[in-house]
Amino acid sequence: MMDMALLSMPTKSHFVAFTAVFTAMITVLDVLPTLGFYSGIWDSWIFLLSPLVGILLGPLAGAFCVGLGSLMGHMIIFRNPFELVFMFGAPLGAAMSGLVYQRRWRPVLGIYSALLLGYFITPVAWILPLWGIWDILAGYGLLLLFVFLVTQLKWFETNNHKQTLRLIFSSVIGLEADILLRVFILVPGQTYWLFYGMTPEMLQLVWLGAGFVTPIKVVMAAIAVVVIGTALLRHNLSSLGSEELESIEPHEQ
């Protein structure tokens, strides 16, 4: 059975309104540079919000919202034509976060495993240090732990308990899937030399730096998702409590 979203959206118009608002927010975050515009993994701030969008709107609508917002942002501030290919990582990450939050682990495990396998069977990956993708491997371990908790211990059966940990699982796994797709495009997709003309030796140097940068952004995004998600959950529960009181009061009079 699918879980409720963090925020109550009783009508279709509410859902459309939230989708439009989050698309606009993603667009704004996409045109804000982190360390200057460049072509690479996460050249803007959408990583802070994309997991939460997938959690709130669901995997399909969340992916559409993030993808559209990212495209609009890239059209407003056009950086590098190659980035239009790599930006598909953000919608995938939002979808994966939404799926994890709904405890639909099978497609997440299948997609993550297939991308990771594709990376490791690529010959150039054999000379790249594992340090460069240690966070992706840690994310896969977290996904396996999540699958165990869901299938064996039934740990996330209720919607109101263990929310903080559930939000962390959703955001981290989704963001690491985002990174993994970009890595898949770069290495198995051979775009490291098709797009950028890099040699395997140059790619090795990039991999040394990647082990530092991306984990910091994952931690930042996980904190943002937990803080905002917890606040939305508290608001949702208080709203439901008020509605229940209103429904009880007439009978008591």
pLDDT band at 82; cut points 50, 70, 90: confident
So what's the pLDDT on residue 38? 54
pLDDT-based confidence at residue 214 (cuts at 50, 70, 90): confident
Q: What is the pLDDT of residues 154-188, one digit of tens each?
A: 887 665 567 889 999 999 999 999 999 999 999 99
Q: In the predicted model, is pLDDT for residue 46 greater than 70?
A: yes
In whole angstroms, give the CA distance from residue 139 to residue 142.
5
Q: What is the torsional sign of CA 166, 167, 172, 177?
A: positive
* Dist. CA 141–CA 131, nearest whole Å: 15
Contacts 24+ apart (CB under 8 A), 4-13: 4/159, 5/55, 5/56, 5/57, 5/58, 6/55, 6/56, 6/229, 6/232, 6/233, 6/236, 7/56, 7/232, 7/235, 7/236, 8/236, 8/239, 8/240
Domain boundaries, the chain: 12-235
